[in-house]
Amino acid sequence: MAGASASLDSVESVSLLDMLQYLRQARELRSHDSEAVARYGSTILRKYARKLNQTELWLIHEQTAQAAMDSHNEPLALSISQNVLARFPKGARGSRLAGMLGESAGRTSEATQLYAKELELDPQNALILKRSVAMHKGQGNIPAALAALHTYLASYQLDWGAWEEAAELYIQAQLYQQAVFCLEEVLLHQPIALGTHLLLADTLCTLGGTPNLLTARTHYSAVVELSGGRSARALYGLTYVAAQLGADRKAGKGGEEAELGQVAARALTQLYQREAPEAEQAMLAGMLKAQGLAVEAVTKTIEQMVRFIRQEAEEKASEIAVATEEEFNISKLQFVEAEKQRIKSEFERREGAIEVKKKVERSKQLNESRLKVLQAREDAVQTLLTEAHSRLAKLAKDKAKYKALLTELLIQVDESLVKEVLESAAERYAEKVGVPKPDVSIDTKHYLAPPPDGTKDNEGDSCSGGVVVTTADSSIVCSNTLDERLEIVYSQNLPSIRTVLFGEAN
């Protein structure tokens, strides 16, 4: 542990971090170096108490107090315990420390009363129950310690350390069957604990009997496997079990046990040859010979077993190879099929994307063609309208036709023509409407725009001829020019014009 090698005289030079780390590891590993724990703990509480959080502060108080009691530093234990009692005057925390102080001072009856009082308030108090067990063990009162542990385990069955402690107490009391039960509970929580396997196997051998010996053999074999064949105690146990079962005719497995004993003897011999002096090797050889487990016989048996194991291994390897090949082929087929499906799906996706792109392009081209057709039709209609406008301009040059038209429309070409038809137009208006002949005059200040002559200078406002008639106050205006009449006729007959030019629409 960090700081464990530091001398106690140099504790003042140890940093706070190192001392805290040491105390934490001491708690985790249940270190019994009480003097070092007390020295580090008292130094932290004296110099650095304000730098600790409340949880760790009082945890170190209790740890230091217990270490001081174990190292018989009564003044330090008393001082720190009084601080804890002042902070926790009620409850198991203070009562446990007070009881431990009483135990260390030999006042066990006082400690017993304190623990009993707390258990009356809380019969399942883990701290007090564990302390009671420790107190009874210290007094050598094994039955009382077992009774306290029984009460504790009734509520805390997952505490494998308590089961282990109970097993040790049962072994001390020579109650081996109960110890076996407790050790089996420990293995449920610690299945690879070598020491527990060995202790359980030893206890089963102590009980004796074929069923117990067979179970002990299982646990010894587990230790041999877990230790890589380096546990001499487990190998000794296997030779003992083999000898006992081989001598017991009721077991009915003499041959099998003999082989097991020979294998264990061979492994034990090899272990001694590597690590033990010659005297101990000779002693081992004599013991094995007395048990009928001579090394020569063991060697022969091992060779037979090696051949058998090798044959089985080769057969198993062949089976594995066949199974692996079959599994590989299945996996390969599945992979190929999956890739085929993926490629097919990708192809279908891309094919669909291309088809959509084609449709979009076709629709785009079709729309462009439609727009061109519509534009061509519009251009043709506009060309027709332009041609009509040009013909209107020619009509105004024909005096006879224009004179007749002005009579109907009062369309102006020049002032003299309008004057000629003005009177007849007024009479005809009165005749059609059924009113007196109106007074009609010519506006000689505002004339219509000149007719178009086809030049760029005349592309603006122009008028092919006609008249614009207004009332005297100009509140009503009637534009009756040739251009206006042409626009009206064009708008009204546009569908017919398009039918004539382009045919019926599909």
- pLDDT band at residue 38 under the 50/70/90 scheme: confident
Which of the four pLDDT bands, split at 50, 70 and 90, describes residue 5? very low
For residue 171, what pLDDT is reported? 92
- Identify the weakest region by mean pLDDT among 74-83, 404-413, 473-482: 404-413
Q: How confident is residue 175, by pLDDT bands cut at 50, 70 and 90? A: very high
What burial letters (b/e) apply to 117-150, b meaning 16+ CB within 10 Å? ebbeeeeebebbbbbbbebbbeeeeeebbbebbe
Domains of the chain: 192-293 (1.25.40)
Q: What percent of the chain has pLDDT over 90?
A: 8
User: Given this model, what pLDDT does residue 254 score?
Assistant: 47
Residue 411 has pLDDT above 50, yes or no: no
* Interatomic CA distance for residues 86 and 299, integer angstroms: 72
Between residues 217 and 463, the one the model is more confident about: 217
Predicted local confidence at residue 253, as pLDDT? 46
- Whether pLDDT at 264 is above 70: yes
As a whole number, mean pLDDT of residues 61-78 equals: 79
How far apart, in whole angstroms, are the C-alpha atoms of residue 173 and residue 140? 11
Residue 467: φ, ψ to 5°: -135, 160
Q: Are 363 and 371 in contact (CB under 8 A)?
A: no
Closest CA to 304 of 272, 263, 333, 275: 263
Query: What is the C-alpha separation between 106 and 102, in angstroms, rounded?
Result: 6
Phi first, then psi: what are they for 473, rounded to 5°?
-95, 10
- Closest by alpha carbon to 134, among 118, 156, 111, 155? 111
Element (H or E) spanning 479, and its range?
Answer: strand 477-481
The pTM of this model reads 0.46
Cβ atoms within 10 A of the Cβ of 389, count?
18
**pLDDT higher than 70, residue 303:** no
Q: Of 203-212, 292-301, 322-331, where does mean pLDDT reach its minimum?
A: 292-301
Higher-pLDDT residue of 296 and 180 is 180
Q: Where are the alpha helices (DSSP H) in 122-253?
A: 126-138, 142-155, 160-172, 176-189, 194-207, 210-226, 232-247
pLDDT tens digits for 134-144? 777 877 888 98
Q: Name which of 378, 373, 424 is nearest 403 in CA terms.
A: 424
Q: How buried is residue 467: exposed, middle or buried, by Cβ count under 10 Å (0-12/13-18/19+)? A: buried
pLDDT band at 201 (very low <50, low <70, confident <90, very high): very high
Helices 210-226 & 254-275 angle (0-180, nearest 10) = 40
pLDDT of residue 126: 72
Reported as a pLDDT band with limits 50, 70 and 90, residue 71 is confident
User: For the chain, what percent of residues have pLDDT higher than 70?
Assistant: 76
